[in-house]
Amino acid sequence: MRGQTLRPYLLIMPSLAFLLLLFFVPLVQTVALAFSTTTGTGVGNFVQMLDDLDFRDSVRNTFGLVLCVVPLQLLAALGMSMMLRHVRWGRDIILWIWTIPLGISDLAAGLVWLAILTDKGYLNTILFEVGVISGPQSWLTYETPGALFLAILTAEFWRATAIVFVVLVAGVQLIPREYEEAASVFGATAWQRFRRVTLPLLRPSIQTALILRTVLAFEAFAVVLAVGGRNFPVLVSQAYLWQFTNQNYNVAACYAVLVTLVSLAATLVILIALRPRAGESA
């Protein structure tokens, strides 16, 4: 049965080879590009990145965005998946509507919110009608950094909460109803059932959702460009700028290395923070 034992390897081989060529090799190349300078190997490119006028802003903006949007999305998705459990009618259509943003590209989401938040947009129309402002007003310029941040936060929240929601709902579906019923037999309130039964059992799903979402949030790019243009630099938009506008692949690679390291560190933190506790099965 030699063929039988070889078969699984033959089946995974193509995907393995592909990922080696299009994931592993470019990963190594990125690091190589980041460290190669005109005079040999060194950290010159990183120095140039640190000297970039927008570097500090892009780091601050990226972290600010991720640290605000991801927890908000987790809370919202938890609330949504708990609400869904009590929905008796129209579950199918509600699920569809709630997950529509999952299929929407970050560029399109940025354009949607641009339409709403621009000078003569729909938000300003409402504010005008209720008498808060007296005419068209700009929110998306560097003179209104707070409003610009909120706008990008809103767009990112609108677009990407659905993925957290989907992973959590899949997790909720795996929890036997009996657990909660048992808890309520022993007199647990709704909040206690959620806090002591559902939430701990959801830990693996929460972990997965957080990792997926955090890594993607560090990559946020098109939504930021669509809403904020150059007024709101983030790490990935800087990488794009250095690669495309400045044609400096080395500094672009430095930004890529930074984003990769930050994503890996975030994943590690989430894995450790939400690891199964002693005495629990994962």
Q: Which of residues 241-260 bind another protein (CB under 8 A)?
A: 243-244, 249, 252-253, 256, 259-260
Which of 80, 226, 233 is closest to 154 using CA atoms? 226
Ranges within 112-141 binding another protein (CB under 8 A): 112-116, 118, 120-122, 124-125, 128-129, 135-136
Is position 208 an interface residue for another protein (rule: CB under 8 A)? Answer: yes
Q: Which of 54, 59, 149, 219 binds another protein (CB under 8 A)?
A: 219
The verdict on 211 binding another protein (CB under 8 A) reads yes
- Enter the DSSP assignment of 40: E
Binding flag, residue 145, another protein (CB under 8 A): no
Bridge partners, residue 40, by sequence: 37
Residue listed under structure tokens 């669509």: 226
Count of CB atoms within 10 A of residue 156's CB? 27
Q: Does 36 bind another protein (CB under 8 A)?
A: no
Least Cβ distance, residue 53 to another protein (angstroms): 19
* 188 sits near another protein (criterion: CB under 8 A): no
Give the residue ranges of DSSP H helices in the chain: 2-19, 25-35, 44-51, 55-86, 91-99, 106-117, 122-129, 145-173, 177-185, 190-193, 199-201, 203-218, 222-228, 235-244, 249-273
The interface with another protein within residues 88-117 (CB under 8 A) comprises: 92, 94-108, 111-116
Near another protein in 39-68, by CB under 8 A: none
In sequence order, which residues have a C-beta less than 8 Å from that of residue 149 and are 6 or more positions away? Answer: 61, 64, 65, 232
Q: How many residues bind another protein (CB under 8 A)?
A: 91
Single out the residue of 71, 60, 55 nearest to residue 145, CA to CA.
Answer: 60
Q: Give the binding range for another protein (CB under 8 A) out of 53-61, 145-153, 180-188, 207-215.
A: 207-215
Please report whether residue 171 would count as binding another protein according to CB under 8 A.
Answer: yes
| Residue 160 lies near another protein (rule: CB under 8 A) | no
Q: Is 173 in the site for another protein (CB under 8 A)?
A: yes
Residue among 32 and 47 whose Cβ is closer to another protein: 32
State how far the Cα of 225 lies from the Cα of 211, in Å rounded to an integer.
Answer: 24
Site for another protein contains 1 (CB under 8 A): no
Structure tokens at 113: 């919110």
